[in-house]
Structure 1
Amino acid sequence: MGVYRIGIDVGGTHTDAVLLDENNTVISETKSPTTEDVATGIYTAMKKIINDANVPREQIKYAMLGTTHCTNAIVERKRLNNIAAIRIGAPATLAVKPLIGVPDDLRAALGKYVYLIRGGHEFDGREIVELDEEHLYRIAKEIKGKVDSIAITSVFSPVSQKHEQRASEILKEVLGDDISVSLSSEIGSVGLLERENATILNAAVVNVAKTAADGFINALKNEGIEARVFFGQNDGTLMSVEYAVKYPIFTIACGPTNSLRGASYLSDFSDAIVVDVGGTTSDIGVLVQSFPRESSLAVEIGGARTNFRMPDLISIGLGGGTIIRIKDNGEFTVGPDSVGYRLPEKALIFGGDTLTTTDVAVALGKVELGDPSKVAHLDKELLNKVYDKMVDLVEEAIDKMKTSAAPVPVILVGGGGILLPEKLNGASEVIRPQHSGVANAIGAAISQVSGQIEKVYALAEIGREKALELAKEKAVSEAINAGADPDSIIIVDIEDVPLAYMPGNATRIRVKAAGDLAQVDVTELV
Structure 2
Amino acid sequence: MSRLRVGIDAVAARAVALDEAGRIVASHRGIPGTGSPPGLLDALLAEVEAEAVDRVVAILPEPVPAVAASRVGVLRIGGATALPPLVGWPVELSGALAGPVAMVRGGHEYDGTASAPLDLAAVTEFARRCAGTVRAVAVAGVHGLENPDHEQRAAAVLADVLGPDVPVLKGSETEAIGLLERENTAVLDAALAESARARIGELGAAVRNHNPAAELYLVRGNGTVLPEPAAQRHATACLGAAQAALLHGAARLAGVPAAVVADATGDQTVVGTTRGGLLPESSAHREFGGVRIGSRLPRLTVADRSMSVAAAVARARYGSADLPVVLVGDRSLPDAIRPPDGDLAAAAGAAGAEAAGSVDRIFWQGAGGREDSAARARQLARDAAVRAGADPRTLRETPVKEALMTYVPVPAARLQTTAVGPILEPAAP
TM-score by length of 1: 0.76
Which residue does the alignment assign to 2:298? 311
Q: Compute the RMSD of aligned alpha carbons.
A: 2.4
Residue 274 (1) aligns with residue 261 (2) = yes
Which residue does the alignment assign to 1:73? 64
Which residue does the alignment assign to 1:513? 419
**Structure 2: how far apart are the matches of 1:393 and 1:167?**
54
Contact in 2 for aligned 1:18/1:29 (Cα 8 Å):
yes
SS at match of 1:33: coil
**Structure 2: how far apart are the matches of 1:393 and 1:103?**
36
Contact in 1 for aligned 2:395/2:420 (Cα 8 Å):
yes
In structure 2, relative to structure 1, the CA distance for the partners of 1:282 and 1:421 (3 Å cut) is closer
Which residue does the alignment assign to 1:32? 30
2:130 to 133, 138, 143: 143
Return 181-190 or 136-145, whichever deviates more: 181-190
Identity of aligned residues (%): 28
In structure 2, relative to structure 1, the CA distance for the partners of 1:223 and 1:307 (3 Å cut) is closer
Return 20-29 or 215-224, whichever deviates more: 215-224
Return 59-68 or 487-496, whichever deviates more: 487-496
Task: State the shift of 1:395 in Å.
Answer: 4.6
**Structure 2: how far apart are the matches of 1:302 and 1:135?**
31
1:485 to 388, 391, 398: 391
In structure 2, relative to structure 1, the CA distance for the partners of 1:290 and 1:487 (3 Å cut) is closer
Residue 8 (1) aligns with residue 8 (2) = yes
Which residue does the alignment assign to 2:52? 59
Superposed CA offset, 1:126-157 (max 9, x none): 43322211100001111012212111111222
**Structure 2: how far apart are the matches of 1:506 and 1:159?**
11
Return 230-239 or 477-486, whichever deviates more: 477-486
1:92 to 81, 85, 90: 81
SS at match of 1:18: strand
1:103-122 equivalences under 5 Å are 103-122=90-109
Task: State the shift of 1:255 in Å.
Answer: 0.9
Task: State the shift of 1:60 in Å.
Answer: 1.2
Task: State the shift of 1:230 in Å.
Answer: 1.0
SS at match of 1:497: strand
**Structure 1: how far apart are the matches of 2:341 and 2:421?**
25
Contact in 2 for aligned 1:65/1:230 (Cα 8 Å):
yes
Superposed CA offset, 1:264-306 (max 9, x none): 2122334432222456854332223442111212222221122
**Structure 2: how far apart are the matches of 1:87 and 1:438?**
44
Contact in 2 for aligned 1:64/1:445 (Cα 8 Å):
yes
Which residue does the alignment assign to 2:72? 83
**Which letter does structure 2 place at the counterpart of 1:482?**
A
**Structure 2: how far apart are the matches of 1:438 and 1:254?**
14
SS at match of 2:357: strand
**Structure 1: how far apart are the matches of 2:270 and 2:145?**
32
Which residue does the alignment assign to 1:422? 333
Task: State the shift of 1:407 in Å.
Answer: 8.9
Contact in 2 for aligned 1:493/1:513 (Cα 8 Å):
no
Which residue does the alignment assign to 2:230? 243
Matched residue count = 429
Task: State the shift of 1:214 in Å.
Answer: 1.3
**Structure 2: how far apart are the matches of 1:512 and 1:407?**
23
**Structure 2: how far apart are the matches of 1:250 and 1:109?**
21
Residue 47 (1) aligns with residue 48 (2) = no
Unpaired runs of at least 5, structure 2:
none
**Structure 1: how far apart are the matches of 2:231 and 2:367?**
35
Task: State the shift of 1:506 in Å.
Answer: 0.4
**Which letter does structure 2 place at the counterpart of 1:91?**
A
Task: State the shift of 1:159 in Å.
Answer: 2.7
Contact in 2 for aligned 1:8/1:17 (Cα 8 Å):
yes
Report which of the two structures shows the higher radius of gyration computed on alpha carbons: 1
**Structure 1: how far apart are the matches of 2:267 and 2:131?**
42
Task: State the shift of 1:420 in Å.
Answer: 0.6
Task: State the shift of 1:222 in Å.
Answer: 4.4
Which residue does the alignment assign to 1:374? none
Contact in 1 for aligned 2:110/2:364 (Cα 8 Å):
no
**Structure 1: how far apart are the matches of 2:29 and 2:240?**
20
1:285 to 263, 272, 290: 272
SS at match of 2:67: coil
Return 489-498 or 253-262, whichever deviates more: 489-498
**Which letter does structure 1 place at the counterpart of 2:419?**
A
Task: State the shift of 1:8 in Å.
Answer: 0.8
In structure 2, relative to structure 1, the CA distance for the partners of 1:87 and 1:511 (3 Å cut) is same
Superposed CA offset, 1:358-416 (max 9, x none): xxxxxxxxxxxxxxxxxxxxxxxxxxxxxxxx362545543543436969643222xxx
Which residue does the alignment assign to 2:345? 439
Task: State the shift of 1:443 in Å.
Answer: 0.5
Task: State the shift of 1:90 in Å.
Answer: 4.8
Superposed CA offset, 1:396-455 (max 9, x none): 543543436969643222xxx1x21233xxxxx322111211110111111111222333
Unpaired runs of at least 5, structure 1:
318-389, 424-428
TM-score by length of 2: 0.92
SS at match of 1:269: coil
In structure 2, relative to structure 1, the CA distance for the partners of 1:222 and 1:158 (3 Å cut) is closer
Task: State the shift of 1:81 in Å.
Answer: 2.3
Which residue does the alignment assign to 2:181? 194
Task: State the shift of 1:63 in Å.
Answer: 0.7
**Structure 2: how far apart are the matches of 1:279 and 1:45?**
24
1:403 to 301, 318, 321: 318
**Structure 1: how far apart are the matches of 2:353 and 2:398?**
14
In structure 2, relative to structure 1, the CA distance for the partners of 1:226 and 1:277 (3 Å cut) is farther
**Structure 1: how far apart are the matches of 2:378 and 2:260?**
30
Task: State the shift of 1:517 in Å.
Answer: 1.7
Contact in 2 for aligned 1:89/1:155 (Cα 8 Å):
yes
**Which letter does structure 2 place at the counterpart of 1:72?**
P
SS at match of 2:186: helix
In structure 2, relative to structure 1, the CA distance for the partners of 1:292 and 1:88 (3 Å cut) is same
Superposed CA offset, 1:138-193 (max 9, x none): 01111012212111111222332222122112211222244312211221422222
In structure 2, relative to structure 1, the CA distance for the partners of 1:57 and 1:306 (3 Å cut) is closer
In structure 2, relative to structure 1, the CA distance for the partners of 1:395 and 1:303 (3 Å cut) is farther
Which residue does the alignment assign to 1:181? 168
Which residue does the alignment assign to 1:129? 116
**Structure 1: how far apart are the matches of 2:373 and 2:215?**
34
Residue 465 (1) aligns with residue 380 (2) = no
SS at match of 1:58: helix
